[in-house]
Amino acid sequence: MSVSEYLSPLVGRLVLVWFFLTQAFHYGGDWGKTISLLSFSGIPAAPFVLLVALMLLILGCLSLLLGFHTRHGAMLLFGVTIIATVLMHDFWRINHSLDARQGDFELFARNIAIAGGLLLLVGMGPGPFALDNRQGGKKKK
């Protein structure tokens, strides 16, 4: 196995953790604005939804960071990403401004690409530097 095959999965997981944690801190840190945005988008029980989403993001990030139940953590983040993307970046509904529609489409496309990366992690696993591989790298049956 080459150095890149050892290190790439770990670095990839760390980059995903960085992305999701910065988003969690951003939305959690500006609680009131985020609640207003969720309410404006028609999300019911916005404070509860935000709390649950932040908890899921943190759990998913811990999973990826440690490489512990990595596939489950990646699926969790995948689900949150897809749901949030479809509900919050519905660019197809924006008719009043071409710039606003394009901006929302770019966020939509970015999130879908991130979701694709998470699915790669689900399919290929965490790589060799992970608690999931603490049994000498042997796959569990």
Residues 39 and 28: beta-carbon distance below 8 Å: no
Q: Does 115 or 91 have the greater pLDDT score?
A: 115
* Between 104 and 134, residue with greater pLDDT: 104
Paired tokens of 16: 């995903």
The amino acid that residue 131 corresponds to is L
127 contacts 10 by C-beta, under 8 angstroms = yes
Q: What is the DSSP code (8-state) at residue 90? A: -
Task: Please report the pLDDT score of residue 128 as a whole number.
Answer: 93
Q: Up-side HSE of residue 11: CA atoms within 13 Å toward CB?
A: 6
39 contacts: CB under 8 Å, gap ≥ 6: 46
CB-based contact 77:60 (threshold 8 Å): yes
Domain parsing of the chain, residue ranges: 3-133
Where residue 2 falls among pLDDT bands split at 50, 70, 90? confident
For CA atoms 11, 14, 20, 22, give the dihedral sign.
negative
Amino acid symbol at 45: A
